Chains A and B, each alone.
Chain A
Amino acid sequence: MTRAVLFLAVLACGCPAPVCPVRATRCIETRVELCGSDGQWQTVVDCAEVERTSGGEWACGTTREDGEEINTCLLVTP
């Protein structure tokens, strides 16, 4: 049991170096990315997928949400 816990602890520590400030958002082409608690970018949503499933024209851009500027998918043309 102790060995298993140590093994998991070693694995959990074998993380890549942070590359972004936690909670930052950005647009990469049509994708909205968010910086996770590990300091790595994760994709939240692909605006091209939203366009495909929801109709209209969507593009990644910035808006204000709860007083903070964030990146998200914006409806360009309904």
Chain B
Amino acid sequence: MIEDADIDPAIVRAFAAHMAKRFNATIGRTPAALQAGLRLVGMQPEKYATTLGRAIYFPIDLGASNEHWSPWSQITVMAHECQHVADNDARGMLAKGWDYITSTTRRTEHENRAHVAQLELEMWRRGEVAQWWPGVRASALKSYHVTDTDLLVAERYLRVCAPIVRRGGLISVAGAAAIEWLDEHAPELRHPTVRPR
């Protein structure tokens, strides 16, 4: 099994390019103003990708790696951000943006939907969703200034989705698009117990 850190950077770049095209999004480096904005709300810009409208920003050049970003994490986070773009399309960018800013409940819900894409990729890559995964993933929302109750709801949301994904179900459009591409172009990254789509 190829380690997460040893994934060919060319696969990451090709995957990102495909997903950007599929979701009509653009990819770029996080601009300085956005980095400053993230710092202002207590987030470390080097650890986060950000989606504004159809623009997806990463703090590194895709394919490059550092202590925060393995090639595999870039793939999963790209799928996460594409789910945000799909949600923008489904719900309207302004409405979603307003919800995101004014309601911790809605912000949590938006992030949950994007985390489901990562859950699906976790299953595809590892052949399982560990019991700890939903709780750890949900706790990442602490940085998003949501309430402790929101964190518990986020964990429950992922625990509702986990049994579906374990049985081979797909829920998110970004996860489905990601797995379709990876099955065709990088099947060596798929866990041997997971059947191709």
Contacts and interface: CB of A to CB of B under 8 A. Distances in A.
Interface stretch (B23-31, B85-93, B166-174): B166-174
Contact of A32 (B103, B131, B160): B160
A11 to B, nearest CB: 6
A1 to B, nearest CB: 14
Interface residues of B, number: 28
Contacts of A36: 105, 108-109, 153
Given A23-B152, A58-B169, A75-B168, A38 B105 contact: yes
Given A45-B164, A50-B169, A65 B159 contact: yes
Contact of A54 (B150, B153, B168): B168
Nearest to A25: B160
Given A36-B109, A37-B149, A38-B103, A66 B168 contact: no
Contacts, number: 83
B153 A23 contact: yes
Nearest to B149: A37
A72 B153 contact: no
A34 B160 contact: yes
Given A73-B169, A74-B163, 20 more contacts: A12-B102, A22-B149, A22-B152, A25-B156, A25-B160, A34-B160, A37-B147, A37-B149, A38-B103, A45-B160, A50-B169, A53-B169, A53-B170, A54-B170, A66-B131, A70-B160, A72-B163, A74-B167, A75-B169, A78-B168
A-B CB proximity, top 4 nearest: A38-B105, A37-B149, A75-B167, A54-B169
